[in-house]
Structure 1
């Protein structure tokens, strides 16, 4: 995952806004306050707000975990409830249409959409280093984002195809699969359903911004281009899930569900 920007002001706004910002519906931009001329929110107070929002606590193994009953978990539950209604509607319509229509599908980001990175963020003071991040991912031991693996299984049981669209690198595929299985998102984890960033050998459908060993795709170009490709395979993406607005922008999805993440921002 390439974290291009970490903006304290954005995180502050996210932590304060809570459910109002993280509701279901089309993703919107404009959440950054980077051009503000006012004094930014104090970073010491901000980290306390983030801890309160997640209900952050160390477990017996020294791992920072989110509370299953805190504001973060409650915001996720509201998103999941709405998403299930969308999935149910798509499943009903698909049964009525039979083989006449496109197959319904959902698309999930992975980092902080299915797998929670709170422990890494907290222990690195909400900073980012490529080497330590890669080592953290390779451990394949991140906990679930509350409710998201269950939502994956929910869609599959109702005949809605599940795809993954992540900025994790191709080299991290094995660890991602292992970790997703560990949290119970063991659905369609093959290469035909899990699309990762392959800068060395980018797919032809991204030829507008990527050639072998030359990757210039923005997150929006990569994610929306992949969704467009999935739809070209005969699927109708009824819902897309991500913790970043850039996971969701660019079209090719009926609904865009923004999950809460007050710790970093990817433009």
Structure 2
């Protein structure tokens, strides 16, 4: 076999190997391009190895557009329609000398944070209505948020502008930024209780807003598997 003939054969083998690799790559791309709904759930492990799995109830992108403002307001209203009757009954049952308080989260609880992206942010109307009833009947409103202390002043102004009469705003200091959020918020509620208040309700849209106790009753607004902050 001449050197030229051997070179020709080696070239042919190289092209065959390249074509085979391209075919495998194309097949893999085709397989991952098939929408998830086209395959039964128990046939997807091979795909999950290359594409990180998302929670079953979460949309492809964590966008509030996947929820819609009207849906969010309706779902908030459903929760507060349970909270308001409770507040009326509990406030009417105030014990002598008792100082009642409500603790509220801010983002997508007291204020509409993820809808509109404006400043000042408007009040979340179903929550404001319950808060107004409470504050008109002598109940103190405390706001416990994961917002950093650097925006404390504009946050306080925004709450006042939206119609809330704040008796105290708790924001995260520098060291709090390194703490677990749920632990931080629980500690703030404990501080409020240490001032002699009975927290009759704790309202938020995340589990970190509500876990840890230090409230007679909790009300969770929707966050749609973490889509809303």
Please indicate, yes or no, whether the TM-score normalized by the shorter chain is above 0.5.
Answer: yes
TM-score (norm: length of structure 2)? 0.67
Give the structure 2 partner of residue 188 of structure 1. 166
Instruction: Indicate yes or no: 2:88 matched with 1:113.
Output: no
* Distance (Å, rounded) in 1 between the aligned partners of 2:227 and 2:153: 25
Q: State TM-score, norm by structure 1.
A: 0.58
Q: 2:90: which partner in 1? A: 90
Residue 48 of structure 1, CA deviation: 9.4
1:40 aligns with 2:54: yes
Which residues in structure 2 correspond to 1:57-72 (within 5 Å)? Answer: 66=69, 70-72=70-72
Once the 2 structures are TM-superposed, how far is the Cα of residue 46 of structure 1 from its aligned partner? 4.0
In the alignment, does 2:66 pair up with 1:104?
no
Whole-Å Cα distance in 2 between the matches of residues 77 and 42 of structure 1? 25
How far apart are the structure 1 equivalents of 2:158 and 2:183? 26
The residue aligned with 1:74 is 74
Distance (Å, rounded) in 2 between the aligned partners of 1:238 and 1:42: 35
* Distance verdict in 2 for CA 1:91–1:50, change over 3 Å: same
Work out whether residues 166 and 196 of structure 1, in 8 Å CA contact, stay in contact via their aligned partners in 2: yes
Partners of 1:184 and 1:222 in 2: how far apart?
26
Quote the offset at 1:222 in angstroms: 0.8
| TM-align CA RMSD | 3.0
Taking the aligned partners of 2:58 and 2:227, their CA distance within structure 1 comes to 16
Q: Structure 1's 229 and 49: CA in aligned 2 closer, same or farther, altered over 3 A?
A: closer
Work out whether residues 156 and 169 of structure 2, in 8 Å CA contact, stay in contact via their aligned partners in 1. no
CA–CA separation in structure 2 for the residues paired with 1:158 and 1:248: 24
Instruction: Give 1:244 deviation, angstroms.
Output: 0.9
Partner in structure 2 of residue 242 of structure 1: 204
State yes or no: 1:153 paired with 2:149.
no
The alignment partner of 2:125 has SS state of coil
User: RCO higher in 1 or 2 (8 Å CA, sep ≥ 6)?
Assistant: 1
Rg larger in structure:
2
Secondary structure at the aligned position of 1:225 is classed as: helix
Q: Deviation per CA, 1:181-219: give whole Å up to 9, x if none.
A: 23222x025xxx11111226xxxxxxxxx6xxxx54211
Q: Which has the higher helix share?
A: 2
**1:38-83 Cα shifts (integer Å, max 9, x gaps):** 94369995459853532xxxxxxxxxxx2xxx32211111111111
Question: In the TM superposition, what is the alpha-carbon distance from 1:234 to its structure 2 partner?
Answer: 0.9
Structure 2 distance, partners of 1:48, 1:171, is 27
1:174 aligns with 2:183: no
Equivalent-residue separation in structure 2 for 1:167 and 1:50 (angstroms): 20
Residues 64, 228 of structure 2: 8 Å contact kept: no
Q: Is the 8 A contact 2:114 2:228 kept in 1?
A: no
Matches within 5 A, 1:205-244: 216-244=178-206
Relative to 1, partners in 2 of residues 1:42 and 1:249: Cα closer, same or farther, differing over 3 Å? closer
CA contact (8 A) 1:243 1:259 kept: yes
